[in-house]
Amino acid sequence: MAASGSSATAREADGQKELVAAEDKTQVTVKRGVRFWGTFVALCCLSFISALDVAIVTTALPTVTAAIGGAEQYVWIANSFVVASCVLQPLFGQLADVFGRRRPFIASVVLFTLGSGIAGGAKDAAMLIAGRAVQGAGAGGIVVMLDIVCCDLVPLRERGKYLGLMFSWSGVGAALGPPVGGALAEANWRWMFYMNIPICGVALAFLLLFMRFKTGTAATEHRGIGAKFRRLDIIGNLIFTSSMISLLIGLVQGGTDEQHEWSSFRIIVPIVLGVAGWAAFHVHQAVLAPFPSVPPRLFTNRTSAIAYGLTFTSSVVLQATAYFFPVYLQAVQGTTVLESGTYFLPFALSSLVFAVLAGILLSTFGAYRPLHAAAFALSSLAFGLFTLLDGSTSKVAWVWYQLIAAAGSGLVMSTLLPALMASLPESHVASASATYSFFRTFGYVWGVTLPGIIFNAAVGSNLESISDPTLRAQMADGAAYSFASAVHGLRRDGALGPVAFQQMTDVYSESLRVIWWLCLGISLVSLLAVPVMRGLELRKELETEYGLDDGVKVNGVGSSSSDEEVGRAEEKVKVDGVVQCRVVSEPNSA
């Protein structure tokens, strides 16, 4: 009897353990339907076209400036888009909370489409800069809303998978940009901008048809337009926008010509004012703003703070690779511009594969720190191998080096946003995502600026090893970056002999090596920062005031899973200390 009673007690205990373990499983079985997938298709289209637009212009910009003039405004034609995109991102995050997700998202797409039309029809450089600025404002909103809406569609545990899929389209756009830009530059450069219009039209139609999001308490409790605007951090956004414009003016113009050297007061003053304004903005957010657009609480725990830092550092090394590895291919390996774009595909496309893989692994195991550690370890290895690159490096070697670097970049691409969200409540999705987008974009700016400064300084210090004075003059004063694209033609025409070519490739190899050492150092610091993060559990339930509105209620709360059919929704209750389950809703017949 005693043995029998003991056995029964053991079975009861096992049963209780099984029921308690059931708490860790998703409470709602969701079959995602047409609204979910229609919205997600729109996200992928917009992710693709916004990335394509950035990449396509870099190749064709010399052709564009030659056609409409404005060679002296070259820097602002290239960077007006980046500046406008960067400075408005925190504002779009707050607009998403106050006005709901749908209207700011649609407004962003409309702005991007309008800017594309203005840029495509530009008659002079001023009109092109204006069009690119409007495009950038729309693109900044699109980038922020992509992250926010994706977070509203799926639980935290699944976000890596869907972010990876979405970012893969972004990567495809970035990879196709240079060859497509080169082809359109030869045919009709205006179609670089005009082609955005039909693609954005399709995405906009999908948003209008399928995206029916809840508005959230911030929008529903403050129905008047005046009440809504009072919830916006107008003063904070003015401080932030003006300081960022000032800082970015200094960064994008610095070192571009003799009038804008880094020691010039025209560069130092905007940078100092920008940094001071940025500091004042954070003081305002912490002390004065009733509804801050970048709440200080986003940085008060080490997990989200480290995740933001890693977002910045990973963006720096990604952009440095994207801008300077093609220089190695063109100047040291002697490829054409089109060939360098083709040979860069191992990095561009493989990073997408690893982004999707990382998202799947995150959704399966729920652990982000091992993925981050592996990513920065691989990145460190890749840049260590990059320091070995020179004219004698075989194609097989530098392709494999690219694949290792792609693994490092891809593994964090889709896993950093879920990691920083793990330590924050779902109510912070908009502000946290907008701040994440800003750190990523700001990292891209520094990923060009900082390596560019170092590269130009290294070239200047190594130019004396080139015996040909004409060649030295062509590479001096910051011209070495653009000169790389002319190397293949000079060799083909016999204007660059074997001795001069060898001396030149040595200068490029040594100068690029300094960039690779910089990226190696950044990767190692990032790797050391990963253990500081806490390994938090990723939420399996979607707890948001927003999300697709399907009218289904689970446990008295509106479901945010979309109009897809909801299976058996179960409520967990405790009876005599044991977790029990009962059905609270049957499948939706709609």
Q: Are residues 285 and 308 in the same domain?
A: no
Residue 573: its pLDDT value, please?
A: 37
pLDDT higher than 50, residue 412: yes
Q: What is the layout of strands, in order, in the sheet containing 566-575?
A: 28-30, 566-575, 578-585
H or E stretch at 571: strand 566-575
> Which residue segment(s) compose the domain that 265 sits in?
233-290
pLDDT higher than 90, residue 88: no
Q: Are residues 444 and 558 in the same domain?
A: no
- Pair of tokens at residue 130: 């204006």
Residue 10 counted as domain residue: no
Residue 160: its pLDDT value, please?
A: 75
Q: Are residues 179 and 50 in the same domain?
A: yes
- Burial of residue 181, with CB atoms counted within 10 A of its CB: 0-12 exposed, 13-18 middle, 19 or more buried: buried
Percent of the chain residues past pLDDT 90, beyond the cut: 17
Residue 24 counted as domain residue: no
**Which one is predicted more confidently, 10 or 40?**
40
pLDDT tens-digit series, residues 319-335: 889 888 888 998 899 88
Residue 575 counted as domain residue: yes
Q: Are residues 271 and 397 in the same domain?
A: no
Residue 7 counted as domain residue: no
- Pair of tokens at residue 505: 């490739």
Q: 539 — alpha (psi -120 to 50), left (phi > 0) or beta?
A: beta
Q: Are residues 512 and 431 in the same domain?
A: yes
Q: How many domains does the chain have?
A: 4
**Which one is predicted more confidently, 234 or 214?**
234
Contacts of residue 80, defined as CB under 8 A and 6 or more positions apart, other chains included, come to: 129, 132, 133, 136
Q: Which of 255, 273, 290 is the last residue of a domain?
A: 290
Q: Are residues 451 and 329 in the same domain?
A: yes
Query: Nearest-CA neighbor of 152 among 48, 40, 45?
Result: 40
Please provide the average confidence, as pLDDT, over all residues in the chain: 78
pLDDT higher than 60, residue 552: no
Q: Are residues 71 and 147 in the same domain?
A: yes
Q: Are residues 123 and 254 in the same domain?
A: no
pLDDT higher than 80, residue 549: no
Residue 542 counted as domain residue: yes
Q: Which of 187, 205, 231 is the last residue of a domain?
A: 231
Side-chain half-sphere of 290: how many Cα atoms within 13 Å?
5
| CATH, residue 525 | 1.20.1250.20
Contacts of residue 390, defined as CB under 8 A and 6 or more positions apart, other chains included, come to: 332, 505, 506, 509
CB distance 466 to 168 below 8 Å:
no
Q: Are residues 455 and 431 in the same domain?
A: yes
pLDDT tens-digit series, residues 43-87: 888 888 888 887 777 666 666 777 776 655 666 776 788 788 888
Token look-up 């039909």 returns 198
**Distance separating alpha carbons of residues 506 and 513, to the nearest angstrom:** 10
Q: Are residues 238 and 227 in the same domain?
A: no
Q: Are residues 341 and 438 in the same domain?
A: yes
Q: Are residues 239 and 184 in the same domain?
A: no
Side-chain half-sphere of 155: how many Cα atoms within 13 Å?
21
Query: Nearest-CA neighbor of 153 among 497, 561, 580?
Result: 561
Strands 28-30 and 553-554: unpaired
- Pair of tokens at residue 24: 């860790």
CB distance 285 to 407 below 8 Å:
no
Range with lowest mean pLDDT among 212-221, 312-321, 323-332, 471-480 = 212-221
